[in-house]
Structure 1
């Protein structure tokens, strides 16, 4: 983007998780980065340098939030939740997901982006199983207004085989067809997507998206390393989400999956892992040593009964932690304010010493700079500082639902929500402002989605019934 400088003035500026909001002005350069930040008497002079001044009176200008684990296809499957744990929930999602066509996936991506932009989210990782529709997904993300790390799945080992689950023949046959994408297709897909991403404006990046290490054969694990190193791509994967996965991995690798990953050279900076609920202390320490980011998903861990992730253990080990909402049909709304509150409060149930409780500033760090690290954007987004990307949210702190005697990080985290977000800027461009999505026609996307989703659900009905009678 190249445009005129914009000043956001008259409000409070929260520079980052380790600051407190103070009156100031943010000057956004025409290239989409932050040119300058001024406070006190210097704030008015800075505003006068801009071609456009945006009034932020009664609001706080803060770094945009980052959703560091999301499955965008799930926006089409709201209402299909079935109150089962992950291993029993997954076949139902396969039954629905196989019937998502390109247009419905495109609309699901756009509507999920609208929800996040309205909630002050400026960036997200989409861990996507719809690899056959990768061009559609990439284009939709480019049109969404969000900053995105697009991470298409690859895997070639079924969960029921790895975990030794006894399935009825009818269900096994359903889950095992159609087959997985071959390694040569996977490699060609990532090379094509990487080339497209490199030729774009940089807002949509490509990440390798292995579904989970235990779901990948040696061939795919070797491909992981080759593409990571050869194309310079980051990696995003699931890791030890459930007790069943932990136990299954211990049977195959008595020394543990994480140590096996390290032996294979899979643990490296640029890797982010979702969940990590069942990591032991030594594994957590190893992730920290290797520079791996953990994306914590408290809402979906609760919905699926996967467990309480050892957030205090991550903290003690020095692991960089990000936050994610997971899929709309496992974690509910992509509301990072609510995710921050869950992340902050849930560990208190198991920690008797209140003096060690997580603070609001710590979970804000996870939702900003931690998420940026998961996206490979550490030092580029997640703070309001000169030279950083202008990925910003303007949050009302003067309305009746948000007013506080002294606006602070604590009041933002403990009381804020999407209903308080006035505007969201990504890379210097307004993507949401004054109640309207500006990146695309939201009303048209909603109308078209409503026209299509009934047919998708009807097409999936027979497969859903098959799964249900075998579950």
Structure 2
């Protein structure tokens, strides 16, 4: 398809310009004033045009756990997550559908889905999520979340103290599974890419990291993990490696320009230097970090050191939504309290840059997409500047990032295809989707959590908290 966007407002330096934009095939063909109309003319007057954002870290299946899990620290919250994880392939499909729709409605055109797969149905799980993303028309990187160590290995002193069984899949079995997933579902030409997704050092062996590294090299896959999300993980790194988890991952050769690291909260100055040296990306998930009490990532220090930083929503079990604009706002303003020098604070325009080109840098596509540049792929979003939440007519980007935009997205193009127009999704029947999801939840019931009772006392002891039941 070919489009000409008429009279769109775009940011230029510290101001704005009104331009026409031509889209031919999947590319931005021209940007300028008074361009001839080619293809379908789109009235973009009084609309802000920005590149699409990247939801740099999500767990789509957690769509079903929105509003479900109590406020707990990660290590206990995760026990409740595992006890309530969906087990049906249709839920995997619908969770990816919901994640894609929510991301699009908040300005995102790409998602990194660190996907929980159903045991014994791993290939089918990937296929279900892939089908959903293709139907919606969003870009997706699917990183199957894998581990080869038991649940208790994620706790300091967990393996030597808590009862456990070996993990049910061996390292070799997991790597063979990943090869099969790549063969089945890696389809960059369709906007769907497989990434390697070992959950993190806390539940993954060196052999699994090395195998994923090699798989990434063979197929040029992105690499995506959780990194030092909590103080407990910092303690665990010291216990396991006698020092830095970041340095250890560097020694394994896992960190490079294709690597994105979710959270990255408990890093020191030496760790930050490693990230800058290896050109790794940090994905900042401020909302989940606050909900779980994990801490505040040193994002201003990352930026000052030249580390690429993107934004993510994280899973809906720790965010209770997938709103990119909300994630960007909180992820920007939060750091005003971490540095008294306001010259270091993240401006709204810097936040847009981090969410777009920063996000696409994290998935190794910055040379192809992520900015309003002729020749790049057309992942574009129009925002309606007559929407009440973007009024009065002060500064559109400040209103978008610092305000509370409500249904402000007017149109979205992904790889040159218009998937959202005039406030309506063109690819999927959203009313049928919402009714289907509603029908899954006919009865509101409290889940039965079991795993937390097996680990809570241990967690409180190693973290220096009062024993359960103590005042």
Superposed CA RMSD in Å reads: 2.3
Instruction: Work out whether 1:7 is the aligned partner of 2:1.
Output: no
* Pairing partner for 1:137 from 118, 129, 150: 129
* Pairing partner for 1:249 from 215, 224, 237: 237
- Residue of structure 2 in register with 1:149 after alignment: 141
Instruction: Work out whether 1:119 is the aligned partner of 2:119.
Output: no
- Residue of structure 2 in register with 1:465 after alignment: 449
Q: What's the CA shift for 1:181?
A: 3.5
Distance 1:442 1:154, change over 3 A: same
Q: What's the CA shift for 1:227?
A: 0.6
Distance 2:209 2:70 in 1: 32
Distance 1:45 1:164 in 2: 62
Q: What's the CA shift for 1:189?
A: 3.2
Q: What's the CA shift for 1:416?
A: 5.5
Gaps of 5+ in 2: 457-471
Deviations 1:152-193 (A, max 9, x none): 1111123423424669x9x966xx69x543334433333233
Q: Is the 8 A contact 2:6 2:43 kept in 1?
A: yes
- Residue of structure 2 in register with 1:291 after alignment: 279
Q: What's the CA shift for 1:293?
A: 0.4
Deviations 1:285-324 (A, max 9, x none): 1111101000001000000000011011101211000000
Number of matched pairs = 449
Q: What's the CA shift for 1:266?
A: 1.1
Gaps of 5+ in 1: none
Distance 1:330 1:109 in 2: 16
Residues 5-404 of structure 1: pairs in structure 2 closer than 5 A: 5-14=2-11, 20-29=15-24, 31-38=25-32, 43-46=33-36, 48=37, 50-97=38-85, 99-130=86-117, 132=122, 133-164=125-156, 179-199=167-187, 201-404=189-392
Q: What's the CA shift for 1:434?
A: 2.0
Distance 1:393 1:141, change over 3 A: same
TM-score by length of 1: 0.89
Secondary structure at the aligned position of 1:10 is classed as strand
Q: Is the 8 A contact 2:153 2:203 kept in 1?
A: no
Distance 1:355 1:247, change over 3 A: same
Q: What's the CA shift for 1:402?
A: 1.0
Distance 1:223 1:69 in 2: 22
Distance 1:120 1:344 in 2: 16
Distance 1:450 1:377 in 2: 36
Distance 1:418 1:189 in 2: 42
Q: Is the 8 A contact 2:73 2:293 kept in 1?
A: yes
Q: Is the 8 A contact 1:116 1:334 kept in 2?
A: yes
Secondary structure at the aligned position of 1:68 is classed as strand
Q: Is the 8 A contact 2:143 2:196 kept in 1?
A: yes
Deviations 1:382-432 (A, max 9, x none): 111111111111101123331243434333322252521111111111222
